[in-house]
């Protein structure tokens, strides 16, 4: 089972979901903008991705700048910002067991199959 953090308004997110389903994946969709992940969940996903918090963020989002965040902001501050403002989380994002992938490009999601 793949847990898919999905924003239905995002074309890349829709494309990623279609790609997974076309390849036979069982997908549990989580509309993360409505059901924001906790700080603990974000830390867990970051560990599975093996990346820094800034690499999981949409730094071009207006909210990123409104919060005064930068690429040199402390990791804990970035993680808290994502938990409180899930629009900042890069999408699409999928989790399967001890692995996770960001679908940029969407084909990256196939690594979870």
- Residues annotated as catalytic are 10
Exposure string of 20-45, with b = 16+ CB inside 10 Å and e = fewer, is beeeebebeebebbeebbeeebbbeb
């Amino acid at each position: 089972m793949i847990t898919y953090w999905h924003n239905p308004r995002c074309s890349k997110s829709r494309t990623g979901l279609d790609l997974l389903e076309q390849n036979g994946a069982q997908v549990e969709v989580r509309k993360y903008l409505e059901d924001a992940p906790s700080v603990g969940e974000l830390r867990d996903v970051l560990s599975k991705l093996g990346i820094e918090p800034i690499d999981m963020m949409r730094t071009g989002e207006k909210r990123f700048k409104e919060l005064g965040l930068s690429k040199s902001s402390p990791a804990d501050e970035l993680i808290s910002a994502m938990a409180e403002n899930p629009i900042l989380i890069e999408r699409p994002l999928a989790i399967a067991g001890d692995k996770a992938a960001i679908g940029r490009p969407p084909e990256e999601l196939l690594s979870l199959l």
